[in-house]
Structure 1
Amino acid sequence: MNKKLLGVIDATTYYDDLKELTTHRSLAALPFAGRYRLIDFVLSSMVNSNIQSVAIFPKYQYRSLMDHLGSGKNWELDRKRDGLFFFPSPNLDTPSAGIGSFTHFAANLDYLYKSTQEYAIIANCYTIFNMNFQPVLDRHIDMGCDITEICHNGQSLDMYLVKKRLLIELIEERQKTGYTCMKDVVNGLAPYTLCTYEYPELAYKIDSILAYYETSMKILHPFVLDNLFIPTQPIFTKVKDEPPTRYQKEAVIKSAMVANGCMINGTIENSIISRGVKIGKGSVISNSIIMQKCQIGDNCVIDSAILDKDVRVESGTVMNGTSKKPLVIRKGTVQGALMNS
């Protein structure tokens, strides 16, 4: 059963509403929950489903994605046979056709020809979930399906299970059929047996700043946290050797996730703090997401904000967003007291 599924991750998606966070990185590499990237969830789900060969198809700003994944060692995909593969888009100016672009796949058909797996799971890179794909495969085979679309609460998760031979046929016949991606096939009048698989657990699509913010706040709740980070199905990520976070006497932490390597002097409440963040004395961080290596001075007030990596906030600065419109500060910028929001 281990070699029956081939993993294919479409990392070409771009959402204009997320441009403030994806100017310097692909959506797949967007940090999440302090230590992870969005792609960690689908990739870990594949590895935990005993998928040993995974192909990633990136398009935009994928340097940070490749740096994060490397050889796939942290996911046990650095192997002599199968493993992790990157296939950047050959048509960078071509608009995305949807999850599983046949044009993108066509440029890398050799990979599909040479793979030994009989079935392929085609997935997006921007869903927060923790899923075992083996039950989907079992149901797909038992019901004699040609294509199985994975859904959540009746809505498509933009994930599809298909026999590899049929996938190759769809790619090769795309100009005759007019189908550009898997979604076209599912929504069209194709002569195939189409099935749906309802995924009953938690799943969140990150397709906007608000979705990213609200999902991040949700994982601070124990129920959501326990249902996403399952000990028997761990979410893997790039390992970094950093010291534990140091909490000074003045530090106050309430309902927060704090990664390693930080220096905390202020108050953190209902927030997510990434690796290597420094927070000064008297500063209060609430309902916010602070990404890696941000530096926050003394006596700052930050509420309902998203600070991208390497942001520096000068002492005395006040920054306020709202739960429906969080304040977003771009990577590497400096925020001063005279720029109070």
Structure 2
Amino acid sequence: MNKAMLGVIDATTFHDTLEDLLLHRSLAAVPLAGRYRLIDFVLSSMVNSGIESVAIFPKYQYRSLMDHLGSGKNWDLDRKRDGLFFFPAPALETIEDGPGSFNHFAHHMDYFNRSHQDFVVISNCYSISNLDFKAILDRHIAEECDITVVEQKGKSLEIFILSTKLLISLLESRGHTGYTCMQDVLMDSEYSINTYESTGYVKKVKSIIDYYEANMEILQTSTWKELFKTDNPIYTKVKDEPPTRYMKHSIVRNSMVANGCLIDGTIDRSVIFRSVKIGRGSSLKNCIVMQKSQIGENCVLESVILDKDVKIQDNVKLIGTPEEPIVIRKGIIQGELMNS
């Protein structure tokens, strides 16, 4: 039996509760943990599971995602055969197309018809985990079921394994059945459904609170070890930058600081992305600061999320809470007179 798998990542999702972070990027491209993007986790899991053909189906603001993925070289997917495929939504979708990922998939039916893999893994783009799809496929085959759903504590992770033939049939018959996505299929008793319980760390990012919690949880040693395994690494786009420079007055506790930063303040339990500058006398606690943001001198930030290229001028005080973190959108300049 051919146990080869296709990888399909549904990147069409848009969550209104994450709008502040999705103005200039797709959900799949949201930065996480200092140097990664959300899509890195499922994509790396697929590659580590021996999947050599992965199709990305984006719909909204996908320029940033394309820039991040490139040819797929960082995931060893720049191949002469198979590799990484990028299938944006059609420029003009008709009323007949309707909602749901199946219609998007169906616009690129040639990809599925020409594939030689017997099975397909369909996943969302916003689950943070490190999964072994080979083990899930083995269970799927052993149970002789139509569809395997990956769950944790009885809740679907929106990750599915099924035969490629069945997926093609579902796409071709969608006009008759009314199925728009895999969730619709699961509600039909016509198919035998098996579940696979994931016991490792999983976090689905559907809101600002989810995003904030995920970054804070990754600072915990136990979570880090579950996600970033030596034998199943999480890959991302590689950028060559100098080491971070810690100045005389810098103090850093229980934080993650990426390359290329200049730190002259105090950082406590925070995630700092690449090329961030933090001025003297400034204090950050429980914060997430994305790439190339700059924080002036004598600032106090607590439970704040700064998107890329944000500038915080001197003497600014921003105090949020873990339940309601303050989000500063990309490129905003926050001055002393704008304090909130």
Per the normalisation by structure 1, the TM-score is: 0.97
> What residue number does 1:109 align with?
109
Contact 1:59 1:92 (8 Å CA) reproduced: no
In 1, Cα distance between equivalents of 2:334 and 2:244: 24
Q: 1:253 to 1:96 in 2, by over 3 A?
A: farther
Matched, 1:139 2:139: yes
Contact 1:9 1:122 (8 Å CA) reproduced: yes
**Offset of residue 188 of structure 1:** 2.2
Map 1:300-339 onto structure 2 (within 5 A). 300-339=299-338
> What residue number does 1:164 align with?
164
Query: What letter corresponds to residue 313 of structure 2 in structure 1?
Result: E
Query: What letter corresponds to residue 10 of structure 2 in structure 1?
Result: D
In 1, Cα distance between equivalents of 2:257 and 2:21: 20
> What residue number does 2:49 align with?
49
**Offset of residue 178 of structure 1:** 1.1
In 2, Cα distance between equivalents of 1:26 and 1:279: 28
Matched, 1:281 2:280: yes
The alignment covers a number of residue pairs equal to 338
> What residue number does 2:78 align with?
78
Contact 1:301 1:317 (8 Å CA) reproduced: yes
List per-residue Cα deviations over 1:286-328 (Å, max 9, x = no partner): 1000000000011010100000000000011111111100000
**Offset of residue 168 of structure 1:** 0.3
**SS in structure 2 opposite 1:233?**
coil
**Offset of residue 3 of structure 1:** 6.1
In 2, Cα distance between equivalents of 1:219 and 1:234: 15
Query: What letter corresponds to residue 16 of structure 1 in structure 2?
Result: D
> What residue number does 2:15 align with?
15
Map 1:249-288 onto structure 2 (within 5 A). 249-288=248-287
> What residue number does 1:195 align with?
194
Contact 1:310 1:331 (8 Å CA) reproduced: yes
> What residue number does 1:234 align with?
233
List per-residue Cα deviations over 1:84-103 (Å, max 9, x = no partner): 000011166679845xx211
In 1, Cα distance between equivalents of 2:164 and 2:53: 13
In 2, Cα distance between equivalents of 1:327 and 1:2: 50
List per-residue Cα deviations over 1:106-136 (Å, max 9, x = no partner): 1100000111100000000000000110011
In 1, Cα distance between equivalents of 2:70 and 2:2: 23
In 1, Cα distance between equivalents of 2:153 and 2:207: 19
**Offset of residue 56 of structure 1:** 0.2
In 1, Cα distance between equivalents of 2:289 and 2:45: 26
Q: 1:96 to 1:241 in 2, by over 3 A?
A: farther
> What residue number does 1:295 align with?
294
**SS in structure 2 opposite 1:217?**
helix
Contact 1:3 1:116 (8 Å CA) reproduced: no
Q: Please give the root-mean-square deviation of Cα atoms over the aligned residues, in Å.
A: 1.4
Query: What letter corresponds to residue 325 of structure 2 in structure 1?
Result: P
In 2, Cα distance between equivalents of 1:218 and 1:54: 29
List per-residue Cα deviations over 1:173-201 (Å, max 9, x = no partner): 01111111111001223x22111111111
In 1, Cα distance between equivalents of 2:306 and 2:86: 29
Alignment gaps of 5+ in structure 1? none
Contact 1:27 1:125 (8 Å CA) reproduced: yes
